[in-house]
C-alpha cells in the first residue's frame, strides 16, 4: 500500500511551508514573509515515531478571490484535500481568527476527512491565544511554532493516530526526469501532457511555477518521477529573493535527476539563455533530451525540421550527442516520444564497455591516427578502463597527461561514439599518468 498522504492547508502566510520544511528535514518549499509564494503542490516523504507518510504543501487558500492565480492555487489545494488521508489545517496565533479561516474550516468539514487544527506562530506559552480557535468546530487546537520547533511532536502524534495500517516496504526505484527551460517555454504544459492531468498551474504569466515540483506517475507499467522546475532567467533579470531561490531549486533538480528535458520555445528559437541552461545540464554529466515545444505555432515547409536541427547542432555544438523532439504540449503532437527518448538516453548513459573490447578500440584508434608530438615528445596510451557510468567515464593511463591535446581528446571521443551508442548522454575522458595512479 502507498504511504498515507497528509495535506497542509490554510490561508496564505500562516507558515505552512516553514512547517513543511521542518517536518521533512529539507528546504524544499520556499519560505518568504508574504502571501502567494507557494503555488503548486509540493510532496516530500517524512517519518514520525516509525510511521512513514508523505507531506503535501499547498498554496494559501483565498476562497473568495476572483484573481486568476488564486483560483489556480485553490484548484491545486482542492486536489490535495481530495487525495489526502489526513488534513492539517494551519492557522496563525499572532493574527488570530479571520473570516478566511472560517471559510476554509467550512470547506474542510464538508470534505469528511480527519482534520487536525494547528495554530502556528505560538512562540510563547499563552493558552488564552488558543481559546478562540475552538470556534472553528474542528476539535482541539494544537499550538505550535514551526520556526522554533515547539509543539510539533504532539501535533504529529495526533496526525499519525488517523493513519490506517500501511505497508512501509521499500519503494521501487523510479526514473527521475527533470524538466527545465526559460520562463513560459511550456514546461508545466509538457508535464501535464505527460501526466495526463493538470498537475501544475499553467498560465501565460511567466514565472507561474516557483518550486521544483515532484510528481510520481506510471507509464506502460514503469514508475517515473517528473520534476517540474521554475523558469530560469538571466541573473541580471532575477530581482526577487523568491525567484532567486526558485532558480536554485531548478539547478538542484538537475543534480538529483537521472535525465533532463530541456524545453525550448520553437517560436523563439534557441536563445543565449537556452544555451546556458543546456550547458549546465551538460556540465553536470546528465543524459538529456531537447524538446522543441509549441511546434504547432511554427510555420512549416518541407525543410523546416532540418533547419531547426541545424540550429540545434550549431548553437548547442557541445551537446552534439543529444536527440531533439519537436512537440506541441497543447495538441499532444509527438509528446509520447519524450519518455521514449528519455529512456534511450538513460540506457545509453548506463552502458558499460568491456575492458578488452575498449582497449582493442583504443589501440586501433591510435594506430589509425597517432597523437601529435609536442616539443619532441609524443603521448603514449598504455591502457584504458571505463571507471563509471551515468555519465560513462573512461580513464586513459598515459605517459604524460600534459601531452593530451584537445583535438586528440575529441578524436578519441568520436571513436568511442562511433563504436558504441552513447546517444543522449555526455561521456567523460580522464587522462592519468602512472605516477598519479600509484599515489
Strand, helix or coil for residue 95? coil
**H or E element, residue 73:** helix 68-83
pLDDT attached to residue 24: 86
pLDDT attached to residue 64: 60
- Please provide residue 94's backbone torsions phi and psi, each rounded to the nearest 5 degrees: -75, -40
DSSP string for 30-94: ---SSTT---S-EEEEEEETTEEEEEEE-PPP-TT---HHHHHHHHHHHHHHHH-SEEEEEEETT
Helical residues (DSSP H) of 137-271, grouped into ranges: 152-160, 187-195, 241-256
Query: In whole angstroms, how large is the CA radius of gyration of the chain?
Result: 26
Burial of 389 (0-12, 13-18, 19+ CB in 10 A): middle
pLDDT attached to residue 132: 93
From the list 341, 351, 365, 249, the residue with the least C-alpha distance to 290 is 341
Determine how β-strand 5-9 pairs with β-strand 86-92: parallel
pLDDT one digit per residue (tens) for the chain, 439 residues? 357 889 899 888 898 889 998 998 866 554 444 444 444 457 778 889 888 888 888 877 776 666 665 566 677 677 767 778 899 999 999 999 998 899 889 988 988 889 999 999 999 888 888 999 999 999 999 999 999 999 999 999 999 999 864 444 444 578 999 999 998 899 988 988 888 755 443 444 344 444 567 788 888 889 899 998 888 877 655 454 445 556 767 887 898 899 999 999 999 999 999 999 999 999 999 999 999 999 999 999 989 999 999 999 999 999 999 999 999 999 999 999 999 999 999 999 999 999 999 999 999 999 999 999 888 899 999 999 999 999 999 999 999 999 999 999 999 999 999 999 999 999 999 999 865 444 3
pLDDT attached to residue 411: 97
CA distances from 318 to 12, 278, 322 (A): 44, 9, 9
Task: Check residue 402 and report its DSSP letter.
Answer: G
Strand, helix or coil for residue 78? helix
The span from the CA of 294 to the CA of 184, in Å, is 11
Torsion of CA 27, 30, 31, 33, to 10 degrees: 170
C-alpha triplet 76, 78, 79: angle, nearest 5° = 65
Determine how β-strand 86-92 pairs with β-strand 115-120: parallel
Q: Other CB atoms closer than 10 Å to residue 97's CB: what's the count?
A: 15
Strand partners, 218: 223
Q: How far is CA 38 from the centre of its chain?
A: 16
Strand partners, 55: 6, 44
| Full set of structural domains in the chain with CATH | 5-160 (3.40.50.300), 175-349 (3.40.50.300), 355-438 (3.30.300.20)
The span from the CA of 71 to the CA of 48, in Å, is 33
Burial of 203 (0-12, 13-18, 19+ CB in 10 A): middle
Task: Check residue 257 and report its DSSP letter.
Answer: -
Sheet harboring 222-228: ordered strands across? 213-219, 222-228, 175-181, 259-265, 288-293, 323-326
Q: Other CB atoms closer than 10 Å to residue 214's CB: what's the count?
A: 18
Read off the C-alpha cell for 65.
478571490
Amino acid at each position: 500500500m502507498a504511504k498515507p498522504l497528509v495535506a497542509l492547508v490554510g490561508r496564505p502566510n500562516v507558515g505552512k511551508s516553514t512547517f513543511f520544511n521542518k517536518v521533512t528535514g529539507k528546504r524544499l518549499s520556499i519560505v518568504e514573509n508574504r502571501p502567494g509564494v507557494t503555488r503548486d503542490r509540493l510532496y516530500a516523504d517524512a517519518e514520525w515515531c516509525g510511521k512513514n507518510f508523505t507531506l503535501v504543501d499547498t498554496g494559501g487558500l483565498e476562497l473568495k478571490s476572483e484573481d486568476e492565480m488564486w483560483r489556480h492555487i485553490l484548484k491545486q489545494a482542492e486536489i490535495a484535500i481530495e487525495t489526502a488521508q489526513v488534513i492539517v489545517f494551519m492557522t496563525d496565533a499572532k493574527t488570530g481568527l479571520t473570516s478566511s479561516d472560517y471559510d476554509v474550516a467550512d470547506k474542510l468539514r464538508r470534505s469528511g476527512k480527519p482534520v487536525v487544527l494547528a495554530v502556528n506562530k505560538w512562540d510563547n506559552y499563552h493558552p488564552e491565544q488558543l481559546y478562540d480557535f475552538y470556534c472553528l468546530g474542528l476539535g482541539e487546537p494544537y499550538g505550535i511554532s514551526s520556526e522554533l520547533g515547539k509543539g510539533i511532536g504532539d501535533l504529529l502524534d495526533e496526525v499519525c493516530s488517523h493513519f490506517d495500517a500501511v505497508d512501509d516496504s521499500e519503494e521501487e526505484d523510479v526514473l527521475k526526469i527533470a524538466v527545465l527551460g526559460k520562463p513560459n517555454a511550456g514546461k508545466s504544459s509538457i508535464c501535464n501532457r505527460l501526466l495526463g492531468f493538470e498537475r501544475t498551474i499553467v498560465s501565460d504569466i511567466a514565472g507561474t511555477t516557483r518550486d521544483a515540483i515532484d510528481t510520481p506517475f506510471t507509464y506502460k507499467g514503469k514508475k517515473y518521477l517528473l520534476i517540474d522546475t521554475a523558469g530560469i532567467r538571466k541573473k541580471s533579470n532575477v530581482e526577487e529573493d523568491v525567484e532567486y531561490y526558485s532558480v536554485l531549486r531548478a539547478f538542484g533538480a538537475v543534480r538529483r535527476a537521472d535525465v533532463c528535458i530541456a524545453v525550448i520555445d520553437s517560436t523563439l528559437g534557441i536563445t543565449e539563455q537556452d544555451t546556458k541552461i543546456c550547458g549546465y545540464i551538460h556540465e553536470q554529466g546528465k543524459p538529456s533530451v531537447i524538446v522543441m515545444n509549441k511546434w504547432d505555432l511554427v510555420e512549416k515547409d518541407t525543410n523546416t525540421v532540418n533547419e531547426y536541427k541545424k540550429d540545434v547542432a550549431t548553437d548547442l555544438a557541445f551537446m552534439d550527442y543529444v536527440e531533439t523532439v519537436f512537440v506541441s504540449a497543447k495538441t499532444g503532437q509527438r509528446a509520447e516520444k519524450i519518455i521514449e527518448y528519455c529512456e534511450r538516453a538513460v540506457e545509453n548513459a548506463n552502458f558499460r564497455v568491456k575492458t578488452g573490447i575498449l582497449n582493442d578500440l583504443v589501440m586501433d584508434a591510435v594506430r589509425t591516427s597517432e597523437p601529435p608530438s609536442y616539443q619532441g615528445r609524443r603521448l603514449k596510451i598504455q591502457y584504458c578502463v571505463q571507471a563509471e557510468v551515468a555519465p560513462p567515464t573512461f580513464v586513459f593511463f598515459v605517459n604524460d597527461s600534459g601531452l593530451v591535446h584537445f583535438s586528440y581528446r575529441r578524436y578519441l571521443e568520436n571513436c568511442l561514439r562511433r563504436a558504441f551508442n552513447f546517444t543522449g548522454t555526455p561521456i567523460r575522458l580522464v587522462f592519468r599518468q602512472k605516477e598519479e595512479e600509484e599515489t
